Structure 1
Amino acid sequence: MIQIVAAAMMAVLVAGCAVTSVSYSGEGYAPIPGSITYGGQPRTKLTKAPIGSSFPHTFTDQTGREVEEIYVIQPDRTLLIVQRHYRPFLAWSRR
């Protein structure tokens, strides 16, 4: 009996890990100064990158904080900001 329950639980866990694509249905984050899409989409299209792929972009905002954004390439080749992280400001780490 315990083996059957364990096997069922394992099957549920493995099925949950089998996600192969992620869909973002929202509009994403609004661009801020320093974002790749601030002021509009880039003029060049990312033609070689697969649709749905993501990449990071790190920059310093106007207040001096380090920001990391994650972009996803949409089917129309525009970029969507799906995550934004502000790194903590550590005065002794700056030179």
Structure 2
Amino acid sequence: MKHALMVALFSLSACANSGEPQPIPGSLTYGGKVVHSPYRPGMVVKNTFLGDFGYRVFETYVVQPDGTLKLTAQSTGPDYLWQ
């Protein structure tokens, strides 16, 4: 019973996270900001910043035909590597 409940909750959370990535505090477009890029449409712009709990957030934006940035990918990783 406990495992079935965990599987159901995990499945629901996976569905809620599907789709386009959402800007978070530190993102270039967080809070509805509109950023115009000097680069030509279709160019990829990368952004990294320190997120919650010391994790590094990696973002990828694509320049749209009107010059604005669209968030296309977002991932997190450790801020440093253990040696």
Question: Does the TM-score normalized on the shorter chain lie above 0.5?
Answer: yes
Q: Which amino acid aligns with 2:73?
A: Q
Change (3 A) 1:40 1:90: same
With normalisation by structure 1, the TM-score equals 0.56
TM-score when normalising by structure 2: 0.63
In structure 1, the residue corresponding to 2:31 is in which secondary structure? Answer: coil
Output the CA distance in 2 between the equivalents of 1:57 and 1:33: 13
Any gaps of 5 or more consecutive residues in structure 1? 1-26
Whole-angstrom CA distance in 2 between matches of 1:63 and 1:72: 27
Q: Tell me which residue corresponds to 1:70.
A: 60
Cα deviation, residue 77, structure 1: 1.6
Mapped to 2, the partners of 1:75 and 1:54 lie a distance apart of 13
Identical residues among aligned pairs (%): 37
Identify if the C-alpha distance between structure 1 residues 28 and 78 changes in structure 2 by more than 3 Å, giving closer, same or farther.
farther
Q: 1:41 to 1:78 in 2, by over 3 A?
A: farther
Q: Aligned pair count? A: 65
Q: Deviations over 1:25-71 (max 9, x none)?
A: xx83110011000012345x22x311010111000113221011011
Computing the radius of gyration from Cα coordinates, the structure with the larger value is: 1
The runs of at least 4 aligned residues of structure 1 exceeding 6 Å deviation read none
Q: Which has the higher helix share?
A: 2
- Report the secondary structure of 1:87's partner residue: strand
Q: 2:20 aligns with which of 28, 32, 53?
A: 28
Question: Structure 2 unaligned runs (5+)?
Answer: 1-18
